[in-house]
Structure 1
Amino acid sequence: MTSKLPKKAVIAVTSHSAKFYPDGGINGAFYTEILHPYVALTNSGFEVDLASETGTLTIDPYSLSPQFISGGDVDIVGDTEHPVNKLLKGGVKKAADLTSEDYGMFFASAGFASVYDYPTASVLQSVASDVWARGGVVAAVCHGGAIFPGAIDAETGRSIVDGLELTGFSTEADKLAGVLDKIHEDGVLTTEESAVKAGGRYVAPPSPFDDFSVTSGRLVTGANPFSAHSTAAAAIAAFEAL
């Protein structure tokens, strides 16, 4: 790698949580979309910080269900001494306290909640914009792409994803999950709609819940929770190619 960018990543985390699901359950940050990138990045020698716009977060209980937690993740969830759990409990930084120059990668984790706060998370957006301006890698998985309309390329004045291929949780997937009407009733955009708004060229996965990611140079995106690890691996490859 010839880049002199710091080998340090910030994983953005949604700070939104509210009643959301048809059964009255709350939404929040999606656990494995934080865990899997964290593990992949730290195993590759990155320093990693977690940050939300407010410095707070709530883990979406739905993300802890057996549908999403399996294999080695089962032991990690219950391990209070695991580094990611210690960070989630008391080490999530407030975005305003970050020094964006410290990071060579910005990775937006997600959860349905992110479509509510990422579009107005101006400080997280500015960190992503700065990482991009300095030649770093910007990545997002699932609904994390909701941050892209506000992440601006200083040279063009448009979103950093303008004209680039990207993926994310599809509008079809929101419908299959039974939450599309709620999202639209609340006046927010799906991730796919955000991509189009930002000028990106949205690419849907072959099937809504397939492990699927897209690399467009320094932009790396993944389609859903099952893509969190592969998206992080692709982001690491993109960083190492700089």
Structure 2
Amino acid sequence: MKKILIVLTNTTRYGETTDPTGLWLGEATEFALIMQQAGYQVDYVSPKGGFVPLDPRSMKYTDAEVMAFYETADFQKRALTASLAPDEVNPADYIAIYYAGGHGVMWDFPDNPELQQLAVSIYKNHGYVTSVCHGIAGLLNIKIDGQYLIAGRKVTGFTKAEEVLAGKQSVVPFFNQVAAEKRGANFVKQRAYKEFAVQDGQLITGQNPFSAKAVARLLVKNLKQVS
């Protein structure tokens, strides 16, 4: 059985500010837990490999399940301490790639050609390209045969309204919703901070931090149909 590749950020702060950011913990743990419960092995990669910081705000939105997964030696090591670098990953081993969010990804996901090539290879091998919340930043510049992957496709991610509600509209380098629409995506959304995930072929995307489980459930449903 092929594995699932989870992409995490290495960014520790909002741009040139001193404000800390990083991975939104639940977006990785909730997704990974469902995939493992379904029988799939997960691996973790980041743009630089190695250390993955946590957005400190995300620790306020945990439950017993998230904390139990976070505290495992496996997650502490393979995700947060020694994540893989892109050149250590063989895309042929994976049936799906999942871009977890947290504001940090907006600085190191969009323009990383190595991650983009991993996604292209998985997609062309009939695998799934998935994301949640700010993780859609990793999809923005992926191209298949010269065309944006998300062009003309139904996707979702952290909305402009949600960014304003989060109070980060003045420090983010762009709005994911606006950037996706500029690339021709059909960006769909529901009420702010409501669980929502959408599928368009091999693309599965979730709107906000509360949508990681919905993305995972959709992916498992698809994988079970082809296994």
TM-score band by shorter chain is over 0.9
TM-score after normalising by structure 1: 0.87
Residue 172 of structure 1, CA deviation: 0.5
* 3-state SS of paired residue (2:109): helix
Count of residue pairs the alignment pairs up: 225
Pairwise mapping of residues 143-182 of structure 1 onto structure 2 (< 5 A)? Answer: 143-154=134-145, 157-182=146-171
* Counterpart pick for 1:74 among 63, 67, 73: 67
Whole-angstrom distance in 2 between the partners of 1:45 and 1:159? 32
Aligned amino acid, residue 110 of structure 2 = P
- 1:135 maps to what in 2? 126
Residue 19 of structure 1, CA deviation: 4.2
Runs of 5+ in structure 1 lacking a partner? 1-5
* Counterpart pick for 2:24 among 21, 27, 30: 30
Aligned amino acid, residue 146 of structure 1 = A
Contact 2:95/2:122 (CA < 8 Å) preserved in 1? yes
Whole-angstrom distance in 2 between the partners of 1:202 and 1:72? 31
* 3-state SS of paired residue (1:182): coil
Q: Indicate the percent of aligned positions where both proteins have the same amino acid.
A: 25
Residue 88 of structure 1, CA deviation: 2.5
Aligned amino acid, residue 195 of structure 1 = A
Contact 2:101/2:134 (CA < 8 Å) preserved in 1? yes
- 1:239 maps to what in 2? 223
1:194 aligns with 2:179: yes
RMSD: 1.9
Residue 100 of structure 1, CA deviation: 1.2
With 89-98 and 125-134 compared, the bigger mean Cα shift is at 89-98
- 1:15 maps to what in 2? 10
Deviation per residue, 1:137-160 (Å, 9 max, x gap): 110000111112221113xx1122
1:94 aligns with 2:79: no
Aligned amino acid, residue 59 of structure 1 = L
Whole-angstrom distance in 2 between the partners of 1:46 and 1:76? 16
* 3-state SS of paired residue (2:179): helix
Whole-angstrom distance in 2 between the partners of 1:197 and 1:15? 26
Whole-angstrom distance in 1 between the partners of 2:31 and 2:69? 14
* Counterpart pick for 1:225 among 191, 204, 209: 209
* Counterpart pick for 1:42 among 36, 39, 51: 36
Aligned amino acid, residue 106 of structure 2 = V
* 3-state SS of paired residue (2:98): strand
1:209 aligns with 2:193: yes
Residue 76 of structure 1, CA deviation: 3.6
Whole-angstrom distance in 2 between the partners of 1:12 and 1:162? 22
Whole-angstrom distance in 2 between the partners of 1:234 and 1:133? 20
